[in-house]
Amino acid sequence: MVFEFYATGADDQWTLQENQNAFSRILFRPRVLIDVSKIDLTTTVLGFKISMPVMIAPASMQKMAHPDGENATARAASAAGTIMGLSSWSTASLDEVASTGPGIRFFQLYMYKDGLDRNAITQLMGRVERAGFKAIAVTVDRPRRGHKESDIKNRFKLPPHLSLKIFEGLDLAKTDEGNNIASLTWKDVKWLQTITKLPVLLKGVLTAEDTRLAVQAGVAGVIVSNHGARQLDYVPATINALEEVVKAAQGRIPVFLDGGIRRGTDVFKALALGASGIFIGRPVLFSLAAEGEAGVKKVLQMLRDELELAMALNGCTSLKEITRDHVMTEWDAPR
C-alpha cells in the first residue's frame, strides 16, 4: 500500500512514464577542449546560496517510509547544503523539523483542506515563519485529488500510528463557509502574499498563459510540475512543458522544474532548457525507505556527482555555462 502510494500515478500513468521517457529523447551537443578541471555547482535560489541546483520536493507522509520521516530528509538536505520542501501533509511537525538544526526550507501549502479558512492559514503562516521557513510553495494543480487506481484498490490510508502534524492545534473553522477557501483561485494567491512576508512560489504551472498570470500576480517564481503525474494524466512531461514556461516568464521570475529527474544528465537537460533548479520527489522517498537519513544523503550525493560529470563531459565549468545549445530536442529546427 505504501509503496504504491509513493510509486504510482493517475489513471493510465501515461504521464508518469513520459516524465522520465521525455528526458531520454533529449540529446547532448557537448563542447570539447575546455578546461574542466574545476567545476562549480553552486547556485542561488530566491537569494539563498545552495551547493547545487538539486532540491527536495515536498512529499507527504514520509514517516511511512522510515520512522525518522521528514526529520531525516531535513537533516540530509542541510548536510548536502540544499533546500528541502516540507509538505502540508507532513507526518513530522514544524517544530520537529525546525529542531533538526539549521537549513534552508520551503513550506508547501495546500490552501483548501476542509476547515482551512483564511484565519487558519494566517495562523499557519505565522507558525511557518517562526519555524524559520524561507518561502512558501503553493500547490496549484490539485483542486481535487487525482484518480490513482492503486490507492483505491489498496484502500490507502495513513497508518493509525501516524498523523498529519501541520494542521494540529490550528483553529479550524467548522461552520464559517463565507471565509472558507473551497477552491483556490488567483485571488487567494494575491491574498496569501498580503499575509506573509515570505516569497511565494506557484507549484504546478504547465502553460505560458498561467505563467503570464503568475508574473502579473507578483509571485516570486513558478515550479513546472505535474505533481509527479499524480493529478491529471496526459499532461506533457514537465521537461517538455518547461521551455514554453521559461519563454513566457521572460526572465522576470525564476522557473523551476520537478518530475522524472533520476540522473545528473536529467538535471543538466532541465538547466539547458532554462530551469533555475530542479526538485526530486520519489528518489528521496525510496532512499529514505531504504536507508533513512543516510539514504537521502546518498541520493543527493549521487545526483551531485552525476551532474558534475555531465557538466565536465559537456564542457561546462559552472551552471551559467550550461546553454540551450548544449541540448537538441525533437522540436528543434534542423541546424
221: contact with ligand FNR by CB under 6 A: no
63, 118, 134, 227: which one binds ligand FNR (CB under 6 A): 227
58: contact with ligand FNR by CB under 6 A: yes
Would you say 36 or 133 has its CB closer to ligand FNR?
133
203: contact with ligand FNR by CB under 6 A: yes
112: contact with ligand FNR by CB under 6 A: no
71, 139, 276, 287: which one binds ligand FNR (CB under 6 A): 139
Contact 141, 223 (CB under 8 A): no
Plot region of 227 (φ>0 → left; ψ -120 to 50 → alpha; else → beta): left
167: contact with ligand FNR by CB under 6 A: no
15, 93, 225, 240: which one binds ligand FNR (CB under 6 A): 225
Return the ∠ at Cα 124 (arms to 65 and 64), rounded to 5°: 10
Active-site position among 66, 161, 227, 326: 227
Long-range CB contact pairs, 27-31, < 8 A, 24+:
27/327, 27/328, 28/265, 28/268, 28/313, 28/314, 28/326, 28/327, 28/328, 29/325, 29/326, 29/327, 29/328, 30/313, 30/314, 30/315, 30/326, 31/314, 31/315, 31/316, 31/326
Q: Which residues contact 200 (CB under 8 A, 6 or more apart)?
A: 135, 136, 137, 138, 189, 192, 193, 219, 220
Which residues ranging from 74 to 93 are in contact with ligand FNR (CB under 6 A)? 87, 89
C-alpha to C-alpha distance for 42 and 48, rounded to whole angstroms? 10
The CA–CA distances, whole Å, from 125 to 103, 199, 283 equal: 18, 12, 28
Tell me how many residues contact ligand FNR (CB under 6 A).
24
State yes or no: is 161 an active-site residue.
no
59, 120, 222, 257: which one binds ligand FNR (CB under 6 A): 59
281: contact with ligand FNR by CB under 6 A: yes
Would you say 98 or 280 has its CB closer to ligand FNR?
280
Which residues ranging from 242 to 261 are in contact with ligand FNR (CB under 6 A)? 258-261
In the complex, residue closest to ligand FNR by CB = 281
Q: Please identify every residue annotated as catalytic.
A: 227
Query: Using CB under 6 A as the criterion, which residues of the chain lie in contact with ligand FNR when the complex forms?
Result: 5-6, 19, 57-60, 87, 89, 108, 139, 203, 225, 227-228, 230, 258-261, 280-282, 285
